[in-house]
Amino acid sequence: MSWMTLYFKELRLTRTKFLLNIIFLIMVAALFYFLIVRYSPFFVTLTIPLIIVHLFYMFFAMFDSLRQEWKQKTTVFWLNIPSSGWHLLTAKFVAAMTQLFASLLATFMIVYFLLKRSSGMFADTQIPEFLIEQYESYWWILFIGIFMASIQSGVVATFIYMMGKSIRKIGWLLGIGISILGSWFWFKFSETAIYKGLTEWGVILHEKELIDSFNFHFDANIGEPNFDMGVANEVNLYIGTQIVDLLMVVVVLLICAWLLDHKVEA
Domain boundaries, the chain: 3-262
pLDDT tens-digit readout, 245-260: 999 999 999 999 999 9
Question: CB–CB of 79/264 below 8 Å?
Answer: yes
* pLDDT computed for residue 120 by the predictor: 78
d(CA 217, CA 186): 39
pLDDT band at residue 1, thresholds of 50, 70 and 90?
A: confident
Question: Which has the closest alpha carbon to 255: 182, 165, 189, 162?
Answer: 162
Angle at 188 between CA 185 and CA 190, to 5 degrees: 110
For the beta carbon of residue 16, count every other beta carbon within 10 angstroms: 9
Residues 6+ apart with CB under 8 A from 161: 62, 63, 66, 67, 175
CA distances from 224 to 17, 113, 217, 219 (A): 49, 29, 9, 6
Beta bridge partners, 237, equal 205
Which of 41-50, 109-118, 124-133, 174-183 shows the lowest mean pLDDT across its residues? Answer: 124-133
Write down the mean pLDDT value for the chain.
Answer: 87
pTM for this prediction: 0.87
Does residue 199 sit in helix, strand or coil? helix
pLDDT band at residue 135, thresholds of 50, 70 and 90?
A: confident
pLDDT tens-digit readout, 173-231: 999 999 999 999 999 998 899 998 998 888 877 666 655 555 544 444 444 544 444 44
Instruction: For the chain, state the CA radius of gyration.
Output: 22
Q: Where are the alpha helices (DSSP H) in 39-80?
A: 48-52, 57-71, 75-79
Question: Which has the closest alpha carbon to 99: 147, 67, 66, 51?
Answer: 147
